[in-house]
Amino acid sequence: MSEYEVQGVGISKIAEEFGTPLYVYDGDEIERTYHALRAGLDKHVQMFYSLKPNPNVSIVSLLRRLGAGAEVCSLGEFKTALAAGVHPSRILFTGPGKSREELELLVAGDVRAIICESFTELGRIDALSRAAGKRTRVLMRVNPSFGVQGGRLTMAGRPRQFGVDEEQLLDAADLVRRHPNTEIIGIQVYTGTRILDADVVVANTGRIFDLADKAADALGITVTMVDIGGGIGLGYFPGETDPDEDVMVKGINEAVTAFRSRHPDAAVAMEPGRYLVARSGTFVTRVRDIKFSRGERFVITDGGTNAAMAAVGLGTAVKRNFPTQFLSDIDRPLAGPCHVTGPLLTPTDVIARNVTLPEVQPGELIGVHMYGAYGPTASIAYMNGQGFPAEVLAYKGRHHLIRKRDTAEDLLSRQIRVDFQDDAEPGALGARSS
């Protein structure tokens, strides 16, 4: 019998020490992934880790140490990046509904650039900059007219709440003149997420550069940054393969070289999220009960969609199983199909459907792999009083607790109980008390 290990430590020991359900991240894997992508890329490409898939401060700090900046979209993410040690000059701030408080902080804080999502927002940034006696760097986010094939969630070529339509931007010749307190340094385009085909990533990059050419002409600006977004996918399901990194890097580099021959001052920003962290994570959940219902086996665990919602089809039309593994004994022979479910009171609390697993016993551990991305941010943590699970980062052989699990007291601590005058006289259950 051999159990699953994370950096030489058995999963039962990790689960014993930190409890379940649990996210375990392999920091060395994040490091390998980052370096492998970075090493091949043109030196004018700058990496801004998108916090959306995993905003844990230690994950951001690790990526910062590896050389990444941060792409954030809220005060919460912004302060996380700062707490992780990311310098404001290495932060891009995006998001379609920025508050006045956020914009004031960004103008004062000298971030690398604000990614501006509308003309009215540009007006606000300009006014705040004038009041602060500053010029603020801005990337205009563009909703391009080209559609994009190959992503699992397409962002381009449709009506969207993000950015300014390409047609509108190219028609706004007086934009720079009307906003003397902003410096429009270039454009940003985010074309979609979970793009698995390297050629699609490369083709999108080329189209974004073409658009930057047009924007430079139409607005009369000197482009010093083009942000080609994130969205690089990884294979999750049978039949899916990771994008070919060599093809992707070579294609991006060629496009960058060509673009920089026309815009020699331009840096290129990338905002990968999922690609950098997904593979590093395993969601670990402990079996509590086994039952058979109308002939089907249900393996009921202590963590379901309250922690592993991404497995239920975020950004995918069809529900398919994330790679699910019996961790307590990776050699135990497979027994047959089952559904792995959680503790919530909803029939949709299923993290793997008809997945083939060995015979398992209560107390044993099941893992869902590829869980470093979007599990922590896209799950329904508060359903049925569960709260956020613990997070552990294994790095260079040491296992660090990087988030304590929520306790019942934590859930209650933000709530305020109204003192009803008449609640001293309880009536029968279901009856009025007066």
Ligand X SMILES: *Cc1c(COP(=O)(O)O)cnc(C)c1O
Binding region for ligand X (CB under 6 A):
50, 52-53, 71, 94, 190, 193, 229-232, 271-275
- Nearer to ligand X by Cβ, of 275 and 283: the residue is 275
- In whole angstroms, the minimum distance from the beta carbon of 115 to ligand X comes to 7
- Nearer to ligand X by Cβ, of 275 and 326: the residue is 275
- In whole angstroms, the minimum distance from the beta carbon of 163 to ligand X comes to 9
- Nearer to ligand X by Cβ, of 231 and 304: the residue is 231
Single-letter amino acid code for the residue at 32: R
Nearest CA among 80, 130, 142, 73 for reference residue 102: 73
- Nearer to ligand X by Cβ, of 189 and 366: the residue is 189
- In whole angstroms, the minimum distance from the beta carbon of 113 to ligand X comes to 13
DSSP state letters, 146-200: S---S-SEE-SSS--SSSEEHHHHHT-TTHHHH-TTEEEEEEE---EE-B--HHH
Q: What are the b/e assignments for 201-238, b being 16+ CB within 10 Å?
A: bbbbbbbbbebbeebbeebebebbbbbbbbbbbbebee
- Nearer to ligand X by Cβ, of 251 and 273: the residue is 273
- In whole angstroms, the minimum distance from the beta carbon of 395 to ligand X comes to 21
- In whole angstroms, the minimum distance from the beta carbon of 202 to ligand X comes to 16
- In whole angstroms, the minimum distance from the beta carbon of 53 to ligand X comes to 5
Distance of CA 92 to the CA centre of its chain: 15
- Nearer to ligand X by Cβ, of 63 and 232: the residue is 232
193 to 74, 156, 211: CA distances (angstroms): 19, 11, 20
Nearest CA among 352, 382, 380 for reference residue 366: 352
- Nearer to ligand X by Cβ, of 164 and 366: the residue is 164
Nearest CA among 259, 205, 266 for reference residue 232: 205
According to DSSP, the β-strands at 91-93 and 69-72 are: parallel
Q: What are the b/e assignments for 43-72, b being 16+ CB within 10 Å?
A: eebbbbbbbbbbbbbbbbbbbbebebbbbb
- In whole angstroms, the minimum distance from the beta carbon of 381 to ligand X comes to 19
- In whole angstroms, the minimum distance from the beta carbon of 193 to ligand X comes to 3
Q: What are the b/e assignments for 82-100, b being 16+ CB within 10 Å?
A: bebebebebbbbbbeebee
- Nearer to ligand X by Cβ, of 191 and 282: the residue is 191
| CA-based torsion, 310, 313, 319, 322: positive or negative | negative
- Nearer to ligand X by Cβ, of 1 and 317: the residue is 317
The span from the CA of 374 to the CA of 52, in Å, is: 7
Q: Which two tokens stand for residue 425?
A: 């006289």
- Nearer to ligand X by Cβ, of 96 and 206: the residue is 96
Q: Which residue is nearest to ligand X (CB)?
A: 273
- In whole angstroms, the minimum distance from the beta carbon of 3 to ligand X comes to 31
Biggest CA-to-CA distance, the chain: 81
- In whole angstroms, the minimum distance from the beta carbon of 326 to ligand X comes to 28
The percent helix, strand, coil of the chain (3-state, each to 5) is 35, 25, 40
